[in-house]
Each structure stands twice: as structure tokens, then as C-alpha cells.
Amino acid sequence: MSAYLSFGVPAIIAGLLIAPVGLLTTVLGYGLVILVVAALGLFAQYRVNTRA
């Protein structure tokens, strides 16, 4: 169930943002959000591994 939400909700939000902000801005924003979340995940994993 969570896999459907994790892929579906961002796609729906991106689809709704295309009309007001444009396709290029939506794609760049989507990519930026993915990069930030990935960096936070890597940072969190690094912190967990260095505490041991």
C-alpha cells in the first residue's frame, strides 16, 4: 500500500503543478526535492553508522 502512495502522490502533485507553474519548473522542482530527500537519507545513514 505504501509503495502506491510513495509513487502515486508525488505524480499527482506534479501533474497538478504543471498548469500553474509549467512543465520545466515542475520537473526541476521534482528533481530538486528528490535530491534533497536522498541527501537527507544518506546523511541519516551516515550518522547511524558512525554512532556504533
Q: Over the chain, what is the mean pLDDT?
A: 93
pTM: 0.76
Question: Residue 20 to residues 8, 11, 23, 28, 29: CA-CA distances in angstroms?
Answer: 20, 15, 9, 14, 13
Give the chain's domain count. Answer: 1
- Looking at per-residue pLDDT, the higher value among 42 and 2 belongs to 42
At 14, which amino acid appears? A
Please compute the mean of the pLDDT values over residues 25-47 and round it to a whole number: 96
Residue from 9, 7, 30 nearest 18 by CA: 30
Grid cell digits, residue 30: 521534482
Residue from 4, 1, 3, 29 nearest 16 by CA: 29
Position 46 scores a pLDDT of 95
Range of the domain at 7: 2-51
